[in-house]
């Protein structure tokens, strides 16, 4: 899977999360601030990790907790936990297969900043907050 299809899938998943939030607002969506919508979106779980298996391999093999980027650190910690669980369940599986499978598993969040969510949802989709 190339990185552009991953970005497309992430965009679709974010759009779906956005629509769920709007639908759940039961008609008061126009009164909800963009900041509130973004905060609600950060609480949404994601269908998968939106990185390539190669990136997962790099993060897992060279894990280094970065104090300046807690979202990335949280993602890497979740990746490692999922990778170790998969490895324990499939001890003879090739590592390449484990990397392919680990990124397809559900993720706790989208691991994106407020700013990045705002860019993807509001700027790229034509919803400019008006």
Residues 92, 64 share a domain: yes
Q: CA quadruple 82, 112, 51, 106: dihedral positive or negative?
A: positive
95-104 vs 53-61: helix crossing angle, rounded to 10: 110
DSSP bridge partners of 17: none
Residues 126, 73 share a domain: no
Give the count of domains, the chain: 2
Q: Count CB-CB contacts under 10 A for residue 114.
A: 13
Residues 72, 123 share a domain: no
Residues 76, 102 share a domain: yes
Identify the top-confidence range among 22-31, 35-44, 54-63, 76-85.
76-85
Residues 59, 15 share a domain: no
Residues 23, 11 share a domain: yes
Residues 76, 87 share a domain: yes
pLDDT, greater one: 60 or 79: 79
What does the pLDDT read at residue 103? 92
**pLDDT at residue 1 tops 70:** no
Stretch 73-96: mean pLDDT, rounded? Answer: 91
CB 109 within 8 A of CB 124: no
**pLDDT at residue 28 tops 80:** no
- Mean of all residue pLDDT scores within the chain: 83
pTM: 0.59
What does the pLDDT read at residue 47? 92
R_g over Cα of the chain: 16
What does the pLDDT read at residue 130? 44
- The CA distance from 130 to 30, in Å, is 9
Residues 115, 70 share a domain: no
Residues 51, 104 share a domain: yes
CB 95 within 8 A of CB 101: no
Residues 61, 8 share a domain: no
What does the pLDDT read at residue 11? 92
Domain of residue 126: give its range. 1-46+110-130
Residues 116, 77 share a domain: no
**pLDDT at residue 106 tops 60:** yes
pLDDT, greater one: 79 or 126: 79
CB 115 within 8 A of CB 19: no
């Amino acid at each position: 899977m190339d990185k552009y299809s991953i970005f497309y899938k992430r965009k679709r998943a974010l759009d779906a999360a956005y629509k769920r939030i709007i639908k759940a607002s039961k008609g008061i969506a126009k009164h909800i601030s963009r900041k509130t919508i973004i905060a609600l979106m950060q609480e949404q779980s994601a269908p998968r990790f939106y990185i390539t298996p190669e990136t997962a391999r790099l993060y897992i093999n060279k894990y280094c907790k970065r104090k300046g980027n807690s979202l990335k650190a949280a993602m890497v910690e979740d990746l490692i936990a999922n990778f170790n669980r998969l490895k324990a369940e499939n001890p003879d599986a090739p590592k390449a297969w484990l990397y392919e499978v680990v990124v397809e598993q559900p993720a706790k969040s989208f691991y994106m900043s407020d700013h990045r969510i705002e860019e993807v949802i509001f700027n790229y989709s034509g919803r400019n907050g008006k």
